[in-house]
A and B are shown apart, each in its own frame.
Chain A
Amino acid sequence: EVQLVESGGGLVQPGGSLRLSCAASGFTFSSYWMSWVRQAPGKGLEWVANIKPDGSETYYVDSARGRFTISRDNAKNSLYLQMNSLRAEDTAVFYCAREGRPGRPGWSDPWGQGTLVIVSS
């Protein structure tokens, strides 16, 4: 069974940092593009970033570029999101998702259950 389990969320002060992790299982992790998508409380979905299977390419939404860094460790079947200079508007549930087909970016499926990040003093 394909499974994605996020961790690392929590309460952090404005300007602080947090590192999210996503543990993948049930598929060949090193073959897939992976994404982070977030959802502010009561709001819609916002794609944050994605990363190529070998980690050589990364892409970000403007609001995340320069503050967030997506990375992966294929030996550990894990995806990460390092978030720095956090702002109140970054408060959201962060989802990890597998993309498309092996080697190709695309739609998000499946999704993890999400981890909640709250940025507040």
Chain B
Amino acid sequence: QKEVEQNSGPLSVPEGAIASLNCTYSDRVSQSFFWYRQYSGKSPELIMSIYSNGDKEDGRFTAQLNKASQYVSLLIRDSQPSDSATYLCAVKKDSNYQLIWGAGTKLIIKP
């Protein structure tokens, strides 16, 4: 089992709809979780960080964390074509603060 797992996609969502991206992790004691967006040919860009159970909202983005079930998700409301990118989930190990990455989910927003 990989330490951080994401569905590779592609996930196709119509413009204006909600895109839901999911990530599961294996290290039960992890405390820090991150979502990054990577456009083709560019480096990853931080979108959200979340450290506590529940929801965290920032504009059109909402991160959700459920430590009991060991998953973290990212919701994108009112999806735009410019949201088309690969979304990477990262989990920070509690033991040495090393970042462990998922393989990423490719999101396509169709106009």
> Is the pairing of A and B real?
no
Q: Contact residues of A with B, CB < 8 Å? A: none
Q: Contact residues of B with A, CB < 8 Å? A: none
